[in-house]
Amino acid sequence: MCDTHVNEARQWYDTADINQVNELLANAGASSIWVKRLVANNNSKQQIWLANDPSDLSFLPLGAPSYTPTKSQKRKAGNPVIQIPVTWQWVTPNGRFDAPDAKLCYYPQYPEVRFSGFLHGCREAPSELLNETKRGHEVNRCLFLGPVKNGSGEVIRVVALVVGAESPAARYVLSMETFEAGHLCPIVYQSQRQRDEFSVLEQALANIVGRKITPWRLNNDGAIVKPYIAPNAPGLTLEAELGVGENAIPGPDFDVWELKAIKQKSLERRYNHKVTLFTPQPDLPETGRLSTVDFVLKYGHIHTTDEGGNPTSYYFTSGDIQRENEDDKPSAKLELVLEGFTDAKHFDPNGMIALYEKGTRNLAAGWSYLKLLGHWQRKHNRAAYVPYLREGEDGNTSVEFGPLITLGISTSFGLFLQAFKEGKAVYDPGDKATLTNGKWTPHARSQFRINLNDVAAIYGEVREVDMRDPESY
């Protein structure tokens, strides 16, 4: 077995410069390149710290989270570790090599996300630089990584390499304006340097704010639909104007930002408005879960009837649900309960948001924390809330985007659960069943929402930007 990482004099990883690193990763398919300076405890035994929350790594192909309770009897054995697989390849001048056991370990109690399992089972892993018995304690080694996308724009793997502390590439990293000790940083060349992470988005938004735009949609295959007048036209128009295809794949929309078009009655000030966070369907109970039609007919309410008074449609909405500790709501058949949650840093990975039949522990539907985390980690680390006005009807419709942008930066799944506990993030369903030609037709809309005025509850930082005032950003 060949190993280009054996400890011989002046191996490639000790001589590589930033251009060689870029060439290796770009040739392996990387669409962008990020770097993490490694310190003494970043090695195969002590793992590599990458982020505070999985959503910080939403540009990577994160798999479904899993949790197996430890059987250890040690005092600290109760601290949960959620494992998230990631498709990873190490790159060397000899090619690309799978790291089949690579995974992220999420510790919500700290919170932090560490990279683990990256050497095991890989034919050409960077063991010389990462093994704790070799150079795994060397300060200023650098881990370079980049996401690889398929033809549809979906991130399918990570390609990565490690260089030694004395390499020209490592010295370049320490001199970058974008370098931030302890964090993953984007590799930006001199000619590309931006003032901060908002600059790329700000420059793009400057070209569309204040214009009346005919709504349109840009499909992933490049096809243009114009005019496009469906209810979701403003959001798709915003993405299309910034060159983002129809967003069927969960992930950040533009650069590192997720784009949210927010309806307003005026563009001169910020008005409160409901924002949809994500729309996961229930995954519980594991057996015996009702279909959408059966669920709505059983727990929803009649919406319309025919001339004979027979129901022709049922809706299931927030009015059919009573929150835990809420005053009795006679019309509600279900009670919403947050199970296994203490605070943003302490929750049971096997917990859930549950809908119980009122007065019983009969689970009608539920969302496991692992299912919700799997959605959250892909989409919500940074979001730009862009206001819009929509005017006219049909073919004469126009959309205008305003200058008062709200930026949400650095979220966490624990913050989402905390906001849900406080009633700021809510489950706001819009499921329905319609009788058509004697058959019930379902329409599922399982959504979690938050008011724009409450988004500070789910981010570490919220910035209110006025595009007309450079001093605000």
CA-to-CA distance for 184 and 237, rounded, in angstroms? Answer: 31
The strand pairing partners of 361, in sequence order, are none
Same domain, 267 and 168: no
- C-alpha–C-alpha distance, residues 366 and 350, integer Å: 12
Spatial contact of 179 and 150, defined as CB atoms under 8 Å apart: no
Statement to judge: residues 181 and 271 lie in one domain:
no
Domain boundary among 174, 192, 210: 192
Residues 333, 420, single domain; the answer is yes
Higher pLDDT, 421 or 177: 421
pLDDT for the residue 1: 35
Q: 4: pLDDT confidence band, cut at 50, 70 and 90?
A: very low
Residue 276's domain comprises 258-472
Q: Tell me: do 184 and 267 sit in the same domain.
A: no
pLDDT tens per residue, range 157-167: 999 999 999 99
Cβ atoms of 368 and 239 closer than 8 Å? no
pLDDT of residue 173 exceeding 80, the answer is: yes
- Number of Cβ within 10 Å of residue 408's Cβ equals 23
What is the DSSP-derived secondary structure letter of residue 74? S
Q: Residue 472 — pLDDT band, cuts 50, 70, 90?
A: low
**253 within a domain of the structure (yes/no):** no
Decide if pLDDT at 6 tops 50: no
Residue at 235: amino acid letter: G
Q: Tens of pLDDT along 28-64?
A: 999 989 999 999 999 999 999 999 999 999 989 999 9
| Structural contact between residues 473 and 414, judged by C-beta atoms closer than 8 angstroms | no
Q: For residue 460, tell me if it sits in a domain.
A: yes
pLDDT at 382: 86
pLDDT (mean) for 364-368 = 98
| Residue 210 resides in a domain | no
Higher pLDDT, 258 or 416: 416
pLDDT of 245 reads 62
For the chain, the 3-state helix, strand and coil shares in percent, each to the nearest 5, are 20, 35, 45
Residue 465: predicted pLDDT: 94
Question: Above 60 in pLDDT, residue 194?
Answer: no
Q: Give yes or no for residue 153 having a pLDDT over 60.
A: yes
Average pLDDT of the residues of the chain:
90
Is pLDDT above 50 for 7? no
User: What is the structure's pLDDT at 324?
Assistant: 87
pLDDT beyond 60 at 248 = no
Residue at which a domain ends, from 175, 192, 209: 192
Q: Mean pLDDT, to the nearest integer, of 390-398? A: 85
Are 264 and 123 members of one domain? no
**Helix ranges, 313-406 (H):** 369-379
Q: 95-104, 211-220, 235-244 — which one is most confidently predicted on average?
A: 95-104
Task: Write the pLDDT tens digit of every residue in 294-307.
Answer: 999 999 999 999 99
Question: What is the mean predicted confidence (pLDDT) over 415-444?
Answer: 97
Same domain assignment for residues 86 and 177: yes
One domain, residues 58 and 132: yes
On whether residue 247 sits in a domain, the answer given is no
Asked if 352 and 455 sit in the same domain, the reply is yes
Domain count, the chain: 2
Residue 417 falls inside a structural domain:
yes
> What is the rounded CA–CA span in Å between residue 473 and residue 198?
8
Q: 283 and 140 in one domain?
A: no
Domain at 34, CATH number: 2.40.330
**Numbers of helices and strands, H then E, in the chain:** 9, 29
The whole-number average pLDDT for the span 405-430 is 96
Q: Average pLDDT of 281-286?
A: 95
Q: 189-193, 250-254, 377-381: which has the minimum mean pLDDT? A: 189-193
Q: Where are the beta strands (DSSP E) in 224-360?
A: 224-225, 258-263, 274-278, 301-305, 311-316, 321-323, 334-343, 346-357
Examine the pLDDT at 193 and tell me if it is beyond 70.
no
**pLDDT(2) > 50:** no
How much is the pLDDT for 392?
A: 86
Q: Domain boundary residue among 143, 173, 192?
A: 192
Task: Using a pLDDT cut of 70, give the percent of the chain over it.
Answer: 90
Average pLDDT over residues 412-420: 97
User: Residue 162 and residue 159: Cα distance in Å, rounded?
Assistant: 11
Same domain, 150 and 274: no
CB count, 10 Å around CB of 301?
Answer: 15
Q: Is residue 296 part of a domain?
A: yes
d(CA 364, CA 355): 6
Is the pLDDT at 70 greater than 90? The verdict is no
pLDDT-derived band at 293 (thresholds 50, 70, 90) equals: very high
E strand map for 80-154: 82-85, 88-92, 95-98, 103-107, 112-116, 141-149
Q: Tell me the β-bridge partners of 83.
A: 66, 105
Note whether 96 and 173 are same-domain residues. yes
> Do 173 and 291 fall within a single domain?
no
Spatial distance between the Cα atoms of 38 and 211, rounded to a whole number of angstroms:
46
Residue-wise pLDDT for 442-462, tens only, equals 999 999 999 999 999 999 999
- Give residue-wise pLDDT tens across range 324-345: 888 889 999 999 999 999 999 9
**Of the candidates 271, 212, 274, 206, the residue with the CA atom closest to the CA atom of residue 237:** 212
Query: pLDDT (tens digit, 9 = 90+) per residue, 233-247?
Result: 999 999 899 877 654
309 in the Ramachandran plot: left (φ > 0), alpha (ψ -120 to 50) or beta? left
pLDDT at 470: 75
pLDDT of residue 325: 84
Kindly state whether residue 243 falls inside one of the protein's structural domains: no
- What number is the average pLDDT over the span 374-390? 90
Q: What is the pLDDT of residue 455?
A: 97
* Within-domain flag for 308: yes
More confident residue, 135 or 193: 135
Q: State the Cα–Cα distance between residues 69 and 64, nearest whole angstrom.
A: 17
